[in-house]
Amino acid sequence: MELKYSKKYIALVIGLGLSAGLVACSDSNEANVAPVDNAPASEVVEVEVASVEEVVGSEAEGSELVASESVGALSEEDCSAELSSDDSMQFSTKQIIVPAGCQQFTINFAHLGSKPKDSMGHNVVVAKTSDLNNVINDGVGAGAANDYVKPNDERVVAHTKLLGGGEKDSIVLDVATLKDDRYSYVCTYPGHGGVMRGKFKVE
């Protein structure tokens, strides 16, 4: 039997399961479980606590659900890239390959240097290559208070915070957006955008 529960719900079920033996399992479990089948996760949260006691059939069932979620987390690792910079004015790569099979792609960005962000700040700002220069100019104009990104700039697909040495931040991109290979990433810290930039390639 496959049940779709929200994480919150699973935690509740496991919690109850671990309370060992406090719950007497009735023979009518199946009947009580049935309405939950195929229910959207958002609705499952609303299941009354009274019926949760009856749904707790075994700890094993709860463990299975958690295990299948872990498998999902593993496959996501293929849809990410590590990007870094340091106290020199450059990214670790000028091209990021995005697997076409990914729906979303995560960039984990790290500033591996030691200088503070007000003298050697770095961010990762994603926009169409054709918009890059304007995004940089407006970003510089927006100032440090805005991490050198113009607030609500519709040309910016995603951006990290402005980082100083030792800091890291991540962004998640929809791969469908990147598919025409017209997108780039750039650091908009003043003076960095000319050299700190690279392109996405989906393949």
CB 185 within 8 A of CB 178: no
Nearer to Co ion, 150 or 192 (CB): 192
Compute the least distance from the CB of residue 51 to Co ion, in Å.
55
Question: Is position 111 an interface residue for Co ion (rule: CB under 5 A)?
Answer: no
Compute the least distance from the CB of residue 163 to Co ion, in Å.
9
Alpha-carbon distance of 186 to 195, in angstroms, equals: 8
Among 9, 105, 183, 189, binds Co ion (CB under 5 A): 189
Among 111, 117, 150, 192, binds Co ion (CB under 5 A): 192
**Contacts of Co ion in 117-136 (CB under 5 A):** 122
Among 187, 193, 198, 200, binds Co ion (CB under 5 A): 187
Nearer to Co ion, 148 or 183 (CB): 148
Q: What is the DSSP string of 16-77?
A: HHHTTTSSPPPTTHHHHHGGGTT--HHHHTT--HHHHHHH---HHHHHHHHHHHHHHHHHHG
Alpha-carbon distance of 34 to 14, in angstroms, equals: 19
Compute the least distance from the CB of residue 134 to Co ion, in Å.
18
CB 136 within 8 A of CB 185: no
Nearer to Co ion, 76 or 87 (CB): 87
Instruction: Give the binding site for Co ion (CB under 5 A).
Output: 122, 187, 189, 192, 196
